[in-house]
Amino acid sequence: MEWSVVGELLANAVVTGILLGGFYAAVALGISIAFGMLDIANISHPAMIVLGSFIAYYFNAQWGIDPLLLMFPAALVFALYGAGLYGLYYRLFESREKDQRRGLAFFFGLLFVTEVGLILIFGVDLRSVDTSYGEVVLSLGFVSIPVRLLVPFLIGIVMIVGLHYFLNKTYFGLAVSAISQDMLGLRLMAIDPIKIKQLTFGLSLASAAFAGAALIIIQPIEPSIGREYIGRVFAVCVLGGMGSLQGTLIAALLLGTAESITSTFVGPSWAPAVGFGLLLLTLAFKPEGLMTRK
């Protein structure tokens, strides 16, 4: 194989990987918020993203609405759902015992119910959206940048930046950052921690709406596709550190690049296993960063 060809392939793989990484950051953000800040292992999050994708699909197929537009009202609805879900979760689990396991099983049930519900409503066929930019590919020399990858990448970047701004510069955002550190302090400031937690969880779910729109722009979807993302999200959050925005972004970019390179040089059907493989390596050789106990 000629080196220039390999070089071109590599360059494209890396670029694709970076774009993909931005998208993965969008996907992982919700879990990073829920788990990193609220210590809630919401494993139904990938299914919520897929739900978001299907909603985008539905509105696109029926009324031709672009997912990029739909994701805003969808995010609001998801946020409200998230706030409500947290209220339920709190009453059922958090207030009773510090037992994460029941909450885990609960969210797994939710994951499962959501997926099967989607199968019942939409069937198992692949669905995709029709957008004006879906087929466009930009070229930078020998590197091609498909817009269907670029847009989700941008969504991811905007989400991370937006959240960073929110958490550090706004009143509610600072309260949210504080929630994971000092509940008593918050109470003394007459802020109801529960309300803040509801807001935070709502944010987490809202991010699923955005990630869902991004997902269906990138690829056609079917109900069980969320499962492929569980490993990826897990890898990103663990590698990047829970709750750390920069960490999530860097880990996501890393994962995207690793997957893309694997896809190009080994084969695309191996992509879902890359994240997990990365994770296994980390766990096997350097688990110290993850060894903090609660």
The string of DSSP letters for 21-77 reads HHHHHHHHHHHHHHHHHH----TTHHHHHHHHHHHHHHHHHHH---HHHHHHHHHHH
Tokens 């998801």 locate to 78
Contact range with other proteins by CB under 8 A, out of 22-30, 68-76, 130-138, 276-284: 276-284
Residue type present at position 9: L
Print the binding letters for residues 113-142 with other proteins: x by CB under 8 A, - otherwise: x-xxx-xx----------------------
Number of Cβ within a 10 Å radius of residue 121:
10
CB of 69 to other proteins, least distance (A): 31
Among 5, 126, 137, 280, binds other proteins (CB under 8 A): 280
293 is a contact residue toward other proteins (CB under 8 A): yes
Shortest distance, position 283 Cβ to other proteins, whole Å: 4
How many residues sit in the footprint of other proteins (CB under 8 A)? 45
Scanning 168-176, 202-210, 244-252, 278-286 for contacts with other proteins by CB under 8 A, the matching segment is 278-286
Query: Per CB under 8 A, which of residues 78..117 are in contact with other proteins?
Result: 92-93, 100-102, 104-106, 108-110, 112-113, 115-117
Chain CA centroid to CA 99, Å: 25
Cβ nearer to other proteins, comparing 46 with 202 = 46
Tokens 């879900």 locate to 85
CB of 54 to other proteins, least distance (A): 16
Toward other proteins, which CB reaches closer, 105 or 136? Answer: 105
Mark residues 211-250: x for contact with other proteins by CB under 8 A, - for none.
-------------x--xx-xx--x---x------------
**Which residue matches tokens 């759902």?**
81
Interacting residues with other proteins between 23 and 82 (CB under 8 A):
35, 41, 43
Spatial separation of the C-alpha atoms in residues 172 and 264, rounded to whole Å: 44
Minimum CB distance to other proteins smaller for 118 or for 216: 118
Write the DSSP symbol of residue 222. Answer: -
* CA nearest to 75, candidates 165, 158, 192: 158
Q: How far apart are CA 113 and CA 95, in angstroms?
A: 24
Region from 22-30, 126-134, 183-191, 267-275 binding other proteins, contact rule CB under 8 A:
267-275
Amino acid at 180: S
CA distances from 32 to 27, 138, 251 (A): 9, 32, 12
Q: How far is CA 250 from CA 106, 151, 165, 206, 294, in A?
A: 30, 18, 18, 22, 25
Q: For 269, which DSSP code?
A: G
Element (H, E) at 138: strand 137-140
Residues that bind other proteins (CB under 8 A): 35, 41, 43, 92-93, 100-102, 104-106, 108-110, 112-113, 115-117, 119-120, 224, 227-228, 230-231, 234, 238, 267, 269-270, 272-273, 275-277, 279-280, 283-284, 287, 290-291, 293-294
